[in-house]
Amino acid sequence: MKLGNPNARVDRKLEVVQIQPHPPLEVKLNCTEFTCRCPVTNQPDWANLVIEYVPDEVIVESKSVKLYLETWRDEGIFHEHLAQRVLQDFVDVLNPIWCSVTVNFNSRGGIAITATAQYYKGENEDESSNTM
């Protein structure tokens, strides 16, 4: 477990916590200092990354999210692909009722890119909504 572990390392392993029976819950994670690199130029890109979800049985543990997000710092990836990859990683571990990942990248060359990828439980991959 990463929570409370001073030796926890940066990796892409998201950890979850069981939730108690509850009224409907929506969770929103907002990372205002996200960085990755352009896959072509290797220049750094900065973004605000928002992950929202309605959990089914588990929630994601926030320290594991911090360490997960740090793994992208030196990786080259297109902005639109990042939204899809982060969404898939969260869906794989959470099996949520609904999940949305929005990346709002700072302007570069006069163009700012925002991409959103969404998942709805019960819809197959071809029918799930991915907006880019």
Give the burial string for 70-106 (b: 16+ CB within 10 Å, else e).
eebeeeebbbbebbbbbbebbbebbebbebbbbbbbe
Question: How many other CB atoms are there within 10 angstroms of residue 54's CB atom?
Answer: 16
Catalytic residue list contains 45: yes
CATH topology of domain 24-131: GTP Cyclohydrolase I, domain 2 (3.30.1130)
Residue 43, pLDDT score: 93
Q: Of 11, 36, 45, 56, which residue is the catalytic one?
A: 45
Write down the domain spans for the chain. Answer: 24-131
Catalytic residue chosen out of the listed positions 11, 31, 36, 38: 38
Mean pLDDT value of segment 2-23: 78
pLDDT in tens, 73-87: 999 999 999 999 999
Q: Does residue 74 have an active-site annotation? A: no
Residues 21-76: tens digit of each pLDDT: 777 899 999 999 999 999 999 999 999 999 999 999 999 999 999 999 999 999 99
What is the pTM for the complete model shown? 0.85
